[in-house]
Structure 1
């Protein structure tokens, strides 16, 4: 079912949302200072292209730097990417088959506004009500 939803999503709005995030990533990577936000935009582009079967969780190790980074993101790219999700969600909700996709689009608005301090993980790794821990390996 996830595959079918992703294919419908890709055809109806996923490709154009991917292009919007990729364009934001390219623009943000032009300046050396904004490269971290460009990388975040490319990460979100992959999620916008194929979202079903994955979920967004809060990173417990995110701190004040994520908050400050989100403020910069909001000014540089977040507000217009959120508007693309809202416009796409409204358009998808005009048809019965598009309503689930429109709801998924509206659920992506908070991520488009404040992506730092969050991690995209497979849905089957998250248990309801359980706090997800970030694991890193250092070599």
Structure 2
């Protein structure tokens, strides 16, 4: 089912938004300073091309370790990202979601566009993994938090 959903998604709009992510990624790489943003763009472009069965998750939630993208520097990076590219990508996904909501068949695609619009606002510090791996990472994080509470 994921494969069929991804194929239909790719043909009917996913390719356009994925290319938009690639465009902003190329602009970021051209500037040299924007290479971290460009990397995030290409990760999210792959997600935008084929989103079904995958999920964006914070790297700190996945690895249980903070890195530069999940620290305060990541917050600053996300603010800069939002100003230069995030707003435009989020608007693109939002407009695509509205056009998908018009038909009943398009509702699952509209929901994916809305998820991608949210990710467009702040992609720094996130990575894309399978839904199963994301659920396992969240479970492991909850287990660690529970152990920390019990240790008090």
TM-score over 0.5 for the pair = yes
Q: Which one has the bigger helix percentage?
A: 2
Q: Secondary structure at the match of 2:102?
A: coil
Partner residue in 1 for 2:81:
73
Paired residue total: 133
CA distance in 2, matches of 1:13, 1:74: 22
Partner residue in 2 for 1:92:
100
Matches within 5 A, 1:54-73: 54-60=54-60, 61=66, 62-73=70-81
Partner residue in 2 for 1:135:
none
Partner residue in 2 for 1:109:
117
Partner residue in 1 for 2:3:
3
Partner residue in 1 for 2:148:
none
Matches within 5 A, 1:27-46: 27-46=27-46
TM-score, L = length of structure 1: 0.89
CA distance in 1, matches of 2:54, 2:85: 23
CA distance in 2, matches of 1:87, 1:53: 23
Q: Deviation of residue 109 (structure 1)?
A: 1.3
TM-score, L = length of structure 2: 0.82
> What does the per-residue CA deviation read over 1:3-42, in whole Å, with 9 as the maximum and x for residues that have no partner?
1110111111100011101111111111111111111111
RMSD of aligned alpha carbons:
1.6
Q: Deviation of residue 59 (structure 1)?
A: 2.4
Structure 1 stretches of 4+ moved >3 Å: none
Q: Secondary structure at the match of 1:71?
A: helix
Partner residue in 1 for 2:139:
130
Structure 1, gaps ≥5 residues long = 133-139
In our comparison, the structure showing a higher alpha carbon Rg is 2
